Amino acid sequence: MKRSARPLALAAVLGLLAGCFARAPKPSAPAPAIATDHEARGIVEERSRQTHTLTATFDIEMHAADGKSEKNRGAVVVARPDHLRLQVFTFGVMTAYDFTVAGERYRVRRPLEGLDRTGRFGDAASRGTVDLGQDLRPLFLLADAKGATRIEDAGDHFRVTLAEPGGGRAVDVRKSDGRIVAESLLAADGPRVAIEYSDFRPVDGYPMPFSITVRYAKTAVVVKIAVRSYTRNQPVDPKLFEFGGA
Protein backbone atom coordinates (compact mmCIF):
# COMPACT_ATOMS: atom_id res chain seq x y z
CA MET A 1 0.00 0.00 0.00
CA LYS A 2 1.46 3.36 -0.99
CA ARG A 3 1.92 5.76 1.93
CA SER A 4 0.95 9.41 1.71
CA ALA A 5 3.65 12.02 2.24
CA ARG A 6 1.15 14.09 4.26
CA PRO A 7 2.15 14.55 7.92
CA LEU A 8 0.66 11.96 10.26
CA ALA A 9 -1.81 13.63 12.64
CA LEU A 10 -3.23 12.29 15.89
CA ALA A 11 -6.42 11.24 14.14
CA ALA A 12 -4.35 8.96 11.94
CA VAL A 13 -2.73 7.39 14.98
CA LEU A 14 -6.17 6.66 16.39
CA GLY A 15 -7.05 5.22 13.00
CA LEU A 16 -4.22 2.75 13.44
CA LEU A 17 -5.87 1.58 16.64
CA ALA A 18 -9.05 0.94 14.70
CA GLY A 19 -7.16 -1.31 12.30
CA CYS A 20 -6.90 1.01 9.32
CA PHE A 21 -3.34 -0.04 8.50
CA ALA A 22 -2.18 -3.37 7.14
CA ARG A 23 -1.71 -6.43 9.30
CA ALA A 24 1.65 -6.75 11.07
CA PRO A 25 4.37 -8.34 8.92
CA LYS A 26 5.60 -11.90 9.37
CA PRO A 27 8.70 -12.58 11.50
CA SER A 28 12.06 -11.60 10.03
CA ALA A 29 14.25 -14.08 8.21
CA PRO A 30 17.38 -15.16 10.12
CA ALA A 31 20.01 -12.43 10.28
CA PRO A 32 23.80 -12.90 10.06
CA ALA A 33 25.66 -13.83 13.24
CA ILE A 34 28.22 -11.45 14.73
CA ALA A 35 31.56 -12.36 16.30
CA THR A 36 33.27 -9.14 17.43
CA ASP A 37 32.67 -6.24 19.78
CA HIS A 38 33.26 -3.92 16.81
CA GLU A 39 30.20 -5.41 15.07
CA ALA A 40 28.13 -5.03 18.24
CA ARG A 41 29.08 -1.37 18.54
CA GLY A 42 28.19 -0.83 14.88
CA ILE A 43 24.71 -2.33 15.37
CA VAL A 44 23.97 -0.03 18.32
CA GLU A 45 25.24 3.00 16.39
CA GLU A 46 23.21 2.05 13.33
CA ARG A 47 19.98 1.86 15.33
CA SER A 48 20.15 5.56 16.18
CA ARG A 49 20.69 6.42 12.50
CA GLN A 50 18.04 4.17 10.98
CA THR A 51 14.89 5.78 12.39
CA HIS A 52 14.25 9.54 12.46
CA THR A 53 10.50 9.43 13.06
CA LEU A 54 8.47 6.55 14.43
CA THR A 55 4.83 5.83 15.15
CA ALA A 56 3.50 2.70 16.81
CA THR A 57 0.24 1.39 18.20
CA PHE A 58 0.17 -1.34 20.80
CA ASP A 59 -1.69 -3.33 23.44
CA ILE A 60 -0.28 -2.79 26.92
CA GLU A 61 -0.61 -4.82 30.13
CA MET A 62 0.57 -3.37 33.44
CA HIS A 63 1.16 -5.76 36.35
CA ALA A 64 1.70 -4.29 39.82
CA ALA A 65 3.64 -5.89 42.66
CA ASP A 66 0.39 -6.49 44.60
CA GLY A 67 -0.96 -8.70 41.79
CA LYS A 68 -3.29 -6.12 40.26
CA SER A 69 -3.20 -5.78 36.47
CA GLU A 70 -4.66 -3.54 33.81
CA LYS A 71 -4.98 -3.87 30.03
CA ASN A 72 -5.23 -0.93 27.64
CA ARG A 73 -4.16 0.24 24.20
CA GLY A 74 -1.67 2.91 23.33
CA ALA A 75 0.08 4.92 20.63
CA VAL A 76 3.41 6.69 20.43
CA VAL A 77 4.78 9.25 17.97
CA VAL A 78 8.49 10.08 17.99
CA ALA A 79 10.43 12.76 16.12
CA ARG A 80 14.07 12.48 17.07
CA PRO A 81 16.12 13.88 18.60
CA ASP A 82 13.84 15.37 21.24
CA HIS A 83 10.07 15.17 20.52
CA LEU A 84 7.75 12.47 21.82
CA ARG A 85 4.01 11.90 22.31
CA LEU A 86 2.89 8.81 24.21
CA GLN A 87 -0.78 8.03 24.92
CA VAL A 88 -2.56 5.19 26.67
CA PHE A 89 -6.26 4.68 25.98
CA THR A 90 -8.84 2.93 28.12
CA PHE A 91 -12.20 1.64 26.88
CA GLY A 92 -10.79 1.70 23.36
CA VAL A 93 -10.30 5.44 22.73
CA MET A 94 -10.67 7.33 26.05
CA THR A 95 -7.32 8.91 26.98
CA ALA A 96 -6.08 7.69 30.36
CA TYR A 97 -2.49 8.91 30.04
CA ASP A 98 -0.96 11.51 27.72
CA PHE A 99 2.74 12.36 27.85
CA THR A 100 4.36 14.97 25.58
CA VAL A 101 8.05 15.87 25.30
CA ALA A 102 9.44 18.88 23.44
CA GLY A 103 13.12 19.27 24.17
CA GLU A 104 13.59 19.60 27.94
CA ARG A 105 9.93 20.45 28.52
CA TYR A 106 7.20 17.91 29.22
CA ARG A 107 3.48 17.72 29.80
CA VAL A 108 1.72 14.90 31.68
CA ARG A 109 -2.05 14.54 31.45
CA ARG A 110 -4.25 11.99 33.20
CA PRO A 111 -7.69 13.27 32.18
CA LEU A 112 -9.63 10.67 34.18
CA GLU A 113 -7.86 11.87 37.33
CA GLY A 114 -8.00 15.58 36.50
CA LEU A 115 -4.19 15.82 36.33
CA ASP A 116 -2.50 18.23 33.92
CA ARG A 117 1.11 19.14 34.71
CA THR A 118 3.91 20.78 32.72
CA GLY A 119 7.54 21.27 33.64
CA ARG A 120 11.16 20.63 32.81
CA PHE A 121 12.94 17.34 33.32
CA GLY A 122 15.51 18.73 35.73
CA ASP A 123 12.72 20.11 37.92
CA ALA A 124 10.77 16.84 37.77
CA ALA A 125 13.83 14.83 38.81
CA SER A 126 14.46 17.10 41.80
CA ARG A 127 10.90 16.45 43.02
CA GLY A 128 11.24 12.70 42.57
CA THR A 129 8.48 12.66 39.95
CA VAL A 130 8.37 9.41 37.97
CA ASP A 131 6.04 8.71 35.05
CA LEU A 132 5.98 5.91 32.50
CA GLY A 133 6.94 8.20 29.64
CA GLN A 134 9.80 9.82 31.53
CA ASP A 135 11.33 6.45 32.37
CA LEU A 136 11.23 5.35 28.73
CA ARG A 137 12.29 8.66 27.21
CA PRO A 138 15.93 7.58 26.68
CA LEU A 139 14.73 4.61 24.63
CA PHE A 140 12.42 6.51 22.31
CA LEU A 141 14.79 9.49 22.02
CA LEU A 142 18.06 7.61 21.60
CA ALA A 143 21.31 9.29 22.57
CA ASP A 144 24.33 9.18 20.32
CA ALA A 145 25.63 5.60 20.57
CA LYS A 146 29.17 6.75 19.71
CA GLY A 147 29.56 7.42 23.45
CA ALA A 148 30.06 3.71 24.19
CA THR A 149 32.23 3.42 27.30
CA ARG A 150 32.56 -0.37 27.53
CA ILE A 151 31.82 -3.47 25.46
CA GLU A 152 31.79 -6.87 27.21
CA ASP A 153 31.61 -10.40 25.85
CA ALA A 154 28.76 -11.92 27.89
CA GLY A 155 28.61 -15.38 26.36
CA ASP A 156 25.72 -15.47 23.91
CA HIS A 157 25.65 -11.67 23.55
CA PHE A 158 27.78 -8.53 23.68
CA ARG A 159 26.85 -5.84 26.22
CA VAL A 160 27.44 -2.28 25.00
CA THR A 161 27.38 0.28 27.82
CA LEU A 162 26.69 3.92 26.95
CA ALA A 163 27.31 6.90 29.23
CA GLU A 164 24.35 9.29 29.45
CA PRO A 165 23.38 12.17 31.75
CA GLY A 166 22.06 10.84 35.05
CA GLY A 167 23.37 7.32 34.54
CA GLY A 168 23.74 5.29 31.40
CA ARG A 169 22.35 2.55 29.21
CA ALA A 170 23.42 -1.07 28.72
CA VAL A 171 22.45 -2.65 25.39
CA ASP A 172 22.61 -6.43 24.79
CA VAL A 173 23.34 -7.50 21.19
CA ARG A 174 22.76 -11.20 20.53
CA LYS A 175 25.64 -12.92 18.76
CA SER A 176 23.54 -15.44 16.80
CA ASP A 177 21.73 -12.80 14.74
CA GLY A 178 22.92 -9.32 15.77
CA ARG A 179 19.55 -8.37 17.28
CA ILE A 180 19.29 -5.95 20.19
CA VAL A 181 17.38 -8.20 22.61
CA ALA A 182 17.62 -6.31 25.92
CA GLU A 183 18.36 -2.90 27.32
CA SER A 184 18.72 -1.40 30.80
CA LEU A 185 18.51 2.19 31.95
CA LEU A 186 21.16 2.63 34.63
CA ALA A 187 21.30 4.78 37.74
CA ALA A 188 24.14 5.21 40.22
CA ASP A 189 22.80 2.33 42.34
CA GLY A 190 22.18 -0.07 39.44
CA PRO A 191 19.51 -0.76 36.76
CA ARG A 192 16.27 1.18 37.24
CA VAL A 193 14.41 -0.08 34.17
CA ALA A 194 15.07 -3.32 32.27
CA ILE A 195 13.61 -3.95 28.80
CA GLU A 196 13.45 -7.18 26.81
CA TYR A 197 12.75 -7.27 23.04
CA SER A 198 11.49 -10.22 20.97
CA ASP A 199 9.31 -11.20 18.00
CA PHE A 200 11.32 -9.22 15.46
CA ARG A 201 9.62 -8.44 12.14
CA PRO A 202 10.76 -6.32 9.19
CA VAL A 203 9.35 -2.79 8.94
CA ASP A 204 10.51 -1.14 5.71
CA GLY A 205 13.41 -3.58 5.66
CA TYR A 206 14.53 -2.96 9.26
CA PRO A 207 13.82 -5.49 12.07
CA MET A 208 11.59 -4.08 14.81
CA PRO A 209 10.49 -5.82 18.05
CA PHE A 210 6.76 -6.54 18.26
CA SER A 211 6.96 -7.86 21.83
CA ILE A 212 8.47 -5.72 24.60
CA THR A 213 8.63 -6.38 28.36
CA VAL A 214 9.56 -3.56 30.74
CA ARG A 215 10.50 -4.20 34.39
CA TYR A 216 10.85 -1.44 36.99
CA ALA A 217 13.40 -2.34 39.65
CA LYS A 218 12.15 -0.22 42.56
CA THR A 219 8.41 -0.79 42.18
CA ALA A 220 8.47 -4.33 40.74
CA VAL A 221 5.93 -3.18 38.12
CA VAL A 222 6.02 -5.19 34.88
CA VAL A 223 4.71 -3.74 31.61
CA LYS A 224 4.09 -6.02 28.63
CA ILE A 225 3.66 -4.39 25.22
CA ALA A 226 2.40 -6.16 22.11
CA VAL A 227 2.96 -3.86 19.13
CA ARG A 228 0.17 -3.82 16.55
CA SER A 229 1.83 -1.65 13.92
CA TYR A 230 4.82 0.58 13.19
CA THR A 231 5.61 3.27 10.66
CA ARG A 232 9.13 4.60 10.19
CA ASN A 233 10.55 7.81 8.73
CA GLN A 234 7.19 9.28 7.70
CA PRO A 235 6.36 12.98 8.24
CA VAL A 236 4.58 13.74 11.51
CA ASP A 237 2.49 16.77 12.40
CA PRO A 238 4.49 19.10 14.71
CA LYS A 239 1.21 20.13 16.38
CA LEU A 240 1.21 16.73 18.10
CA PHE A 241 3.99 18.02 20.36
CA GLU A 242 2.35 21.32 21.32
CA PHE A 243 1.16 21.76 24.91
CA GLY A 244 -1.85 23.93 24.24
CA GLY A 245 -4.48 21.25 23.55
CA ALA A 246 -5.46 17.65 24.06
Q: Kindly report which listed range (117-131, 145-159, 175-189) carries the lowest average pLDDT score.
A: 117-131
Please state, in angstroms and rounded to a whole number, the distance separating the CA atoms of residues 202 and 210. Answer: 10
Average model confidence (pLDDT) across the chain: 82
Residue 34 has pLDDT above 90, yes or no: yes
What is the mean predicted confidence (pLDDT) over 7-15?
44
Q: Please give the average per-residue pLDDT across 61-72, as a whole number.
A: 92
Residue 54 pLDDT: 95
With beta carbons less than 8 A apart as the criterion, state whether 199 and 58 touch.
no
SS3 156: coil
pTM: 0.82
Confidence tier at 239 by pLDDT (50, 70, 90): very high
Sequence letter at residue 197: Y
Per-residue pLDDT band at 49 (split at 50, 70, 90)? confident
What's the mean pLDDT in 129-140?
68
Residue type, 94: M
Mean pLDDT lowest among 66-80, 118-132, 213-227:
118-132
Domain ranges (residues) in the chain: 10-17+34-233
User: Looking at residue 144, what is its pLDDT?
Assistant: 60
Q: Tell me the average pLDDT across 40-64.
A: 91
What is the tens place of the pLDDT at every residue in 18-31?
A: 343 334 566 556 67
Q: What is the pLDDT of residue 235?
A: 94
pLDDT at position 152: 94
Mean pLDDT of 28-36: 81
Counting Cα atoms < 13 Å in the Cβ hemisphere of 180 gives 25
| Residue 47 parent element (H or E) | helix 37-50
- Per-residue model confidence (pLDDT) at position 1: 39
Does residue 143 surpass a pLDDT of 70?
Answer: no
Q: Give residue 135's pLDDT band: very low, low, confident or very high (50, 70, 90).
A: low
**pLDDT of 73 above 80:** yes
C-alpha–C-alpha distance, residues 191 and 220, integer Å: 12
Average pLDDT over residues 67-74: 92
Give the residue-averaged pLDDT of 186-192: 83
Distance CA 67, CA 98 (A): 25
Q: Is the CATH code 2.50.20.10 the one for domain 10-17+34-233?
A: yes
Q: What is the pLDDT of residue 243?
A: 86
pLDDT at 190: 79
